[in-house]
Structure 1
Amino acid sequence: MRNYIVLLVLLNFLFLSCNANQNDSKNLSGNENEIHPKLILTKKGVEEIRSHLGKLPLFDASLEKVKQEVDQEIELGIQVPIPKDYSGGYTHERHKRNFLMIQKAGVLYQILQDDKYGNYVKDMLFAYAKMYPTLPIHPKPRSYARGKLFWQCLNDSNWLVYASQGYDCIYNFLSEEERSVLENDLFKPFADYISIQNPQFFNRVHNHSTWGNAAVGMIALVMNDDALLDRALYGIKNAALASNAKDNDGGFIKNKEGKAGYFANLEEPFSPDGYYTEGPYYQRYAMYPFLIFAEALQNVKPEYEVFKFKNNVLLNSIDALLQLTDADGEFFPINDGQKGMSYYSRELVTAVDVAYAYGGNNSGLLSIAEKQQKVTLDDAGLAVALAIKDGKATLFDKKSVNLSDGSKGDEGGVGILRYGEEDLTLVFKYAAQGLSHGHYDKLSFSLFEKGEEVLQDYGLARYVNVEQKGGGNYLKENKTWAKQTIAHNTVIQDEISHFQGKYEIGSKHHSELHFFNADNSDVQLISAKENNAYPGSKMHRTLAVVKDEKYTKPYVLDVFRITSDQPHQFDLPYYYFGQPISMNFDVNTSSSIQPLGSKNGYQHLWLEATGQGATTSQFTWLNHNKFYTISSNTSKQDELLFARIGANDPNFNLRNDPGFIIRRKNVKQTVFATVIESHGTYSPVSEFSVSATSNIKKVQVVYDSEEYTVVQITNVENEVKTLIISNRDTNNQTKHSLKVNNKEFSWVGPFYFK
């Protein structure tokens, strides 16, 4: 009898042990490194999340939304079609949907402890493990690095970044044999393909490579594969040479035979201020792999201190990226950028949560999270939800700021001048080329009023994931129009783009900051020079945002000085939106419009009308029931051109937006001085207009030399404001004096305005 009881106890123990392994931790070894999840969700974090369920409105709402989404996908069943489409096509979008669901379902398995989600992730991954070994290279040939699931390795890397998180969440749900199949048939070959078999994709400094590095690194962390992790961190060739030694700047030693890998991508494209050289649209895109891999490294390999790398550049970059948004949270379309992308994107939800959790609990980030109305379902998202519930949110401080470009902060930059609560926001680009996504537009600017574009940057020529438009990829007009200088609000010489529109030339140069001053909110200025866009010509632009009590709204003063060793034609376009209302010069139209030129972007502009310059030429338009006026110093020799985008565009790929161009011919040295003014409103309900006419009477360049440029603005009450720019000396302590038209001016610093 006693032996029978002992036998029953032993059988019961074995049954309970097997059941526990089956449901929660199959083959969980005693090795601490085998505790999962550990990348983004952690075991400790999961326990804390479970303890707060039902108590945190923002987290609970985010969880419920994800649950509904995943439940719907489970009802549809698992679909892993043979890849064949470009972006926007069925197979592309299906595989994209799948990797998102793998990650989300894995999270739900951990938080809700429901095997339904664990089995869904398992079955999905095994479907891919069955298919992947037989997959050829993707049939669409356009990419320089074709993937297998997608037409480019970039999207394959997207898949692995998300799938690695799902795998981490169900790691202990699987048996050792199941993990072996997934790792040997899917994850290791996948990581090898996007790295070793595609070094042109993996071993470079670019947002594409960042995704590849993060993908290989994150699956390496799940599998505890240190060799694969070194490949991710330091590139292919020198993974074996990588060490944990730090260099003199506090960064880990990178690839010793050329810059590649995660740390090189973290070092090179970011300035110390956190500006990403490709521009905010691609910074937003790259932030997800940068941050998600950093979070995983912090949790699994804290000795790397990745959030301290390059003086906290990752955390600085999130603040910089939020500064690069308008009043509606949309990113300024610098370089290749799709308009409408904003901090409501999933990448920025992650960025805000990670920045709060790992960046010293910046309470201003919580107000952004409140606007986003969602948090990530992990440790960082829990921290944000708890803080919001406790009432810790404060307003994020969007301000006038100058963000340097270049890895050392010495390759130009982007300046943002803001007045009030973004009543007027000016964005000035004097940056480096921006890698392959850069445009040829030195010293260009765009202008916003309360989130609405007043003077636009065109952005990219692409309909992302719209299959009918070139498979959702970049259109040829991106090169022939959007990248060309004429597509931007800056000076073009002889109808030729800056640096001849050649990447090899443009990537060697950057503009130089002359000065930036936002100490007085009523008079904020930024000034920069470009000496390499055209051989023998030098450009110097100064922009000021001014609030004057005589004006109902702030205005912009734009002073663009050009000197050259030969006479040239100079065009200065302003791309506006809306309906022309009036102008103080005669306009000639033609019954048959023609393109403005034949190349360098000019072939895409219809010339709709021409005019002859007045002493001060003024053009007023109406947009969103607001009146705007451009007032510029001109002469009878200047041509005033009204143009519209869309010529030589047989597939209607370009937006038909209007532009106003000031053309000055046969000059060696000249100054364009222009005031851009927002000054009134119209009500279609009451049918009244208020302040519909400009408050400007004259804009004059009254003095110009190598030392100083003097511009005067006279309003309709004959009151004069004078801006003096020191063209050489920018020392804030230098005392200046200048006599202009028998009047003495004395001041200290690089400018005078009064």
Structure 2
Amino acid sequence: MKKMKITALLLVAAALNAPLALQAQAQEHPNLIMTKSGIEKVRQNLGAVPLFDASVQSVKNEVDAEIALGIDTPIPKDFSGGYTHQRHKLNFLTAQKAGALYQILQDDKYAKYIRDMLFQYEAMYVDLPVHPQERSYARGKLFWQCLNDSNWLVYMAQAYDAIYDTLSEQERDKLENNLFRPFADFISIENPQFYNRVHNHSTWGNAAVGMIALVMDDEELLDRALYGIEDDGLELGGRDNDGGFIKVAGQKAGFLANLEDPFSPDGYYTEGPYYQRYAMYPFLIFGLAMNHVKPEMKVFSHKDNVLLKGVDALLNLTDADGEFFPLNDGQKGMSYYTPALVTAVDIAYQYGEQNPQLLSIAEKQNQVLLDQSGLAVAMGIRDGKAQPFVKNSINLRDGQEGDQGGVGVLRHGNEDLTLVFKYAAQGLSHGHYDKLSFSLYESGDEVLQDYGLARFVNIGQKGGGNYLKENKTWAKTTIAHNTLSINEQMHFSGKYEIASEHHSDLYFYDDTKDDVQVVSATEGNAYPGTQMHRTMAIIKNEDFEKPFLLDIMKVKSDSKNQYDLPFYYMGQVLSDNFEYNSPTSLKPLGEQNGYQHLYLEGKGKPSSSTTQFSWLGDGKYYTLTSATEESDELLLTRLGANDPDFNLRRDAAFMLRRNGSGNTTFASVVEPHGSYSPVSELSVNSDSSIAELSIVHDDDAYTAVSIESIKGVRSLFILANKDAAKSKQHKLKVKGKEFSWTGPYLYTGS
């Protein structure tokens, strides 16, 4: 049935454009990433486009060094980080680059290098057993997991395409029958639990099978790549080792399903930017190959150009230094300088609207692809077309239809202050239990952090470079994030099946004003009988040196609970306005759900209704000011308990604890101010500008927070809790003064 869909499309294309159909049938090579006409244009411009020429020379130096070392295809035995893993990875990366060099420079040594490598793999693959390391739910052959085997095939398909015409028919038959088809069958038919699902893993598998199918002109394999395996024999509700569903009733599979389901209409990828970055390479590379070989499928325009939108979304999910926000499982430091984003930027420029702002990102990357898209980018930069990439505030919806929450990013000025507010869906198996969490940045520096993942990628000494057990016992837990934990339990009790059924809901988002930007969302399923409503605003007030963040967390619950609201600050404690005791010996804060990893370093009580806590981070001062109650507890915690292998960073947090409350509201301000230079030893404006923070009105309909500066000037933020309509008119009397406004909130500043 699925094959008939493709056949029908091809018949339509043939009827409309017979010459193109005949050309496709002839299987001209190269035809995946490079094309005959594209490579001719590249050759004609050699020596005339500086960035492209520099990229060619850099790749040439790298590949020539590998050729000089000889070809090694060792028997696999290691996890990621070990020699055999790294060697096979370097082989496929080098082969792909060698293929590009062969096409550009027409030097036969690159074709010979690829040919010899492929036949070494062909000779070993026929008798190659499954990888000896048993940790993965889908073991590969060359690598410990099918995911990395799929990486190999995506890149090797490009190398094979580049030298296809240099091989005899007998050589091609040998490679295809003994290596490529068995390889494609292994990662798909023999491992349906890996291949036949919606996940970044299967995206790589689908693209791998599809890429080699296009080179070999194999319609059956292409059908399998696009639509998955129709009868995979999997039980409904099976799970992988990350807890993610392998298959659910009615679930689609294949590349098109992976292109459809995880992406929102805004280009946000539900697993988060770290894995979107990883998945964008197979999405775009296979999409480009389909664009060249099967243009009638219109992969790039699928779902209203969602792949190209995805590139824009990814770039907007970076801080001022180009590093991706570590939402869900995300390694800190991963940035748009990664080769996957070089690919994304170049392809998005060439096959999108040639947005000149993308050229400024390419300038920073300082390298381009060795194909026609890389040439186009390099020529645009040479010709002075680059414009700065401007990252404004943005609200990215989550979910296939854009109706499963999202991520709001509020930016003031030139990323002077950036809020990342997460109210998204679970994010598949890489999701964390952190509804309504946030992180805060000042000019690229973390102020309040999201931990990210617990993994040392490709560092063999740390769990073979794979996920550590602490990823589940700490990084995924609720208390590991800047959000509310109730009764020391995780959101959804830490159960993936439950969490995957729910998402937070946007209450409103407004970035239209220069002095106030607001995002507000609700969560009613994380804890039974409890509704959380969090509103966060970046505010610029002339009585304050810098913009600040206002945070209001309103909780309604059917029962009395213990509420913990942590703030994971980055820096050295400076001062506070409350008394606390430090224990002589450290003990864990709790026994499970992440609490077992937190040492309690200090415990105190508020000295007034306005509690302040200050720290110095990377030459800048910060103060957290909170409206507190007399019965609140103030906790100073540090990560590292029950961590004998030192797998966790020793990060610190200031935590507000409120016990025995049902309905309650937390209000806090995070205030950047001043600076310190270790060179001049000059300290400027090291004290907070806030004298008092108080909740002056709070009921079901409205919450009002008053901020009084040290100059005695008061500002007021009023939130309408029940109606977020922009046209709704509101009226409220606060301390004898009546306020009227239209829309979900009012801010009266100086």
TM-score (normalizing by structure 1): 0.93
What amino acid maps onto 1:737 in structure 2?
K
- Counterpart residue number, 2:472: 479
- Counterpart residue number, 2:327: 334
- Counterpart residue number, 1:610: 603
Provide, for residues 684-712 of structure 1, a one-character-per-residue CA deviation record: whole Å limited to 9, x for no partner: 23322110000001111111111111111
Q: How far apart are residue 257 of structure 1 and its match? A: 5.8
Asked if the contact 1:363–1:394 (Cα under 8 Å) also holds between the matched residues in 2, the reply is yes
Q: How far apart are residue 238 of structure 1 and its match? A: 6.9
Q: After the TM superposition, which residues 240-251 of structure 1 pair with which residues of structure 2 at under 5 Å, given as runs?
A: none
- Counterpart residue number, 1:315: 308
Matched, 1:596 2:580: no
Matched, 1:644 2:638: yes
- Counterpart residue number, 2:196: 203
Of 676, 681, 684, the residue aligned with 2:678 is 684
What amino acid maps onto 2:720 in structure 1?
S
Provide the C-alpha distance between the structure 1 equivalents of 2:588 and 2:256, rounded to a whole number of angstroms: 47
Q: After the TM superposition, which residues 354-753 of structure 1 pair with which residues of structure 2 at under 5 Å, given as runs?
A: 354-613=347-606, 614-753=608-747
Q: How far apart are residue 34 of structure 1 and its match? A: 2.4
Provide the C-alpha distance between the structure 2 equivalents of 1:674 and 1:292, rounded to a whole number of angstroms: 46
What amino acid maps onto 2:735 in structure 1?
N
Q: How far apart are residue 391 of structure 1 and its match? A: 1.1
Asked if the contact 2:273–2:314 (Cα under 8 Å) also holds between the matched residues in 1, the reply is yes
- From the superposition, tell whether residues 129 and 89 of structure 1 become closer, same or farther in structure 2 (CA, over 3 Å): same
Of 114, 123, 126, the residue aligned with 2:116 is 123
- Counterpart residue number, 1:292: 285
Provide the C-alpha distance between the structure 1 equivalents of 2:725 and 2:74, rounded to a whole number of angstroms: 64
Provide, for residues 412-462 of structure 1, a one-character-per-residue CA deviation record: whole Å limited to 9, x for no partner: 000000001100000000000000000000000000011110000000000
Provide the C-alpha distance between the structure 1 equivalents of 2:515 and 2:257, rounded to a whole number of angstroms: 41
Of 328, 331, 336, the residue aligned with 1:343 is 336
Q: How far apart are residue 31 of structure 1 and its match? A: 7.4
Provide the C-alpha distance between the structure 2 equivalents of 1:550 and 1:44, rounded to a whole number of angstroms: 61
- Counterpart residue number, 1:232: 225
Of 139, 160, 165, the residue aligned with 1:167 is 160
Q: How far apart are residue 256 of structure 1 and its match? A: 11
What amino acid maps onto 2:294 in structure 1?
K
What amino acid maps onto 1:745 in structure 2?
F
Provide the C-alpha distance between the structure 2 equivalents of 1:547 and 1:64, rounded to a whole number of angstroms: 48
- Counterpart residue number, 1:15: none
Provide the C-alpha distance between the structure 1 equivalents of 2:83 and 2:364, rounded to a whole number of angstroms: 32
Provide the C-alpha distance between the structure 2 equivalents of 1:503 and 1:650, rounded to a whole number of angstroms: 27
Q: How far apart are residue 32 of structure 1 and its match? A: 5.5
What amino acid maps onto 1:426 in structure 2?
L
Provide, for residues 379-425 of structure 1, a one-character-per-residue CA deviation record: whole Å limited to 9, x for no partner: 11111111111111111121100000000000000000000110000
- Counterpart residue number, 1:140: 133
Provide, for residues 272-331 of structure 1, a one-character-per-residue CA deviation record: whole Å limited to 9, x for no partner: 000000000000000000000000000000001111100111111110000000000000
Provide, for residues 614-666 of structure 1, a one-character-per-residue CA deviation record: whole Å limited to 9, x for no partner: 31000010111111000000022111100000100000000001110000000
What amino acid maps onto 1:166 in structure 2?
A
Q: How far apart are residue 33 of structure 1 and its match? A: 3.0
SS of the aligned residue for 2:252 comes to: coil
Gaps of 5+ in 1: 1-28, 240-254
Provide the C-alpha distance between the structure 1 equivalents of 2:199 and 2:651, rounded to a whole number of angstroms: 31
Provide the C-alpha distance between the structure 2 equivalents of 1:742 and 1:636, rounded to a whole number of angstroms: 25
Q: How far apart are residue 258 of structure 1 and its match? A: 3.5
Q: How far apart are residue 72 of structure 1 and its match? A: 0.3
Q: How far apart are residue 30 of structure 1 and its match? A: 8.7
Provide the C-alpha distance between the structure 1 equivalents of 2:60 and 2:329, rounded to a whole number of angstroms: 35
SS of the aligned residue for 1:209 comes to: helix
Provide the C-alpha distance between the structure 2 equivalents of 1:551 and 1:61, rounded to a whole number of angstroms: 47
- Counterpart residue number, 2:5: none
Provide the C-alpha distance between the structure 2 equivalents of 1:649 and 1:536, rounded to a whole number of angstroms: 34
Provide the C-alpha distance between the structure 2 equivalents of 1:33 and 1:351, rounded to a whole number of angstroms: 29
Of 64, 85, 89, the residue aligned with 1:96 is 89
- Counterpart residue number, 1:5: none
Provide the C-alpha distance between the structure 1 equivalents of 2:157 and 2:678, rounded to a whole number of angstroms: 55
Asked if the contact 1:33–1:224 (Cα under 8 Å) also holds between the matched residues in 2, the reply is no
Asked if the contact 2:24–2:293 (Cα under 8 Å) also holds between the matched residues in 1, the reply is no
SS of the aligned residue for 1:485 comes to: coil
Provide the C-alpha distance between the structure 2 equivalents of 1:616 and 1:493, rounded to a whole number of angstroms: 23
TM-score (normalizing by structure 2): 0.94
Q: How far apart are residue 741 of structure 1 and its match? A: 1.2
Quote the sequence identity (%): 64
- Counterpart residue number, 2:186: 193
- From the superposition, tell whether residues 691 and 235 of structure 1 become closer, same or farther in structure 2 (CA, over 3 Å): same
Asked if the contact 1:238–1:256 (Cα under 8 Å) also holds between the matched residues in 2, the reply is no
- From the superposition, tell whether residues 45 and 343 of structure 1 become closer, same or farther in structure 2 (CA, over 3 Å): same
- From the superposition, tell whether residues 402 and 82 of structure 1 become closer, same or farther in structure 2 (CA, over 3 Å): same
Provide the C-alpha distance between the structure 1 equivalents of 2:617 and 2:390, rounded to a whole number of angstroms: 29
- Counterpart residue number, 2:216: 223
Q: How far apart are residue 215 of structure 1 and its match? A: 0.1
What amino acid maps onto 1:177 in structure 2?
Q
What amino acid maps onto 1:350 in structure 2?
T
Gaps of 5+ in 2: 1-21, 233-247
Provide the C-alpha distance between the structure 1 equivalents of 2:747 and 2:436, rounded to a whole number of angstroms: 22
How many residue pairs get aligned? The number is 711
SS of the aligned residue for 2:564 comes to: strand
SS of the aligned residue for 1:563 comes to: strand
Asked if the contact 1:417–1:518 (Cα under 8 Å) also holds between the matched residues in 2, the reply is yes
SS of the aligned residue for 1:487 comes to: coil
SS of the aligned residue for 1:519 comes to: coil
Asked if the contact 1:238–1:257 (Cα under 8 Å) also holds between the matched residues in 2, the reply is no
Provide the C-alpha distance between the structure 2 equivalents of 1:700 and 1:296, rounded to a whole number of angstroms: 59
- Counterpart residue number, 1:86: 79
Asked if the contact 2:548–2:669 (Cα under 8 Å) also holds between the matched residues in 1, the reply is yes
Provide the C-alpha distance between the structure 1 equivalents of 2:727 and 2:50, rounded to a whole number of angstroms: 54
SS of the aligned residue for 1:520 comes to: coil
What amino acid maps onto 1:663 in structure 2?
R
Q: How far apart are residue 94 of structure 1 and its match? A: 0.2
- Counterpart residue number, 1:38: 31
Q: How far apart are residue 343 of structure 1 and its match? A: 0.2
Provide the C-alpha distance between the structure 2 equivalents of 1:522 and 1:741, rounded to a whole number of angstroms: 25
Asked if the contact 1:557–1:673 (Cα under 8 Å) also holds between the matched residues in 2, the reply is yes
Provide the C-alpha distance between the structure 2 equivalents of 1:433 and 1:412, rounded to a whole number of angstroms: 10
Provide the C-alpha distance between the structure 1 equivalents of 2:552 and 2:251, rounded to a whole number of angstroms: 42
Q: Highest Rg: 1 or 2?
A: 1
SS of the aligned residue for 1:738 comes to: strand
Provide the C-alpha distance between the structure 2 equivalents of 1:700 and 1:726, rounded to a whole number of angstroms: 17
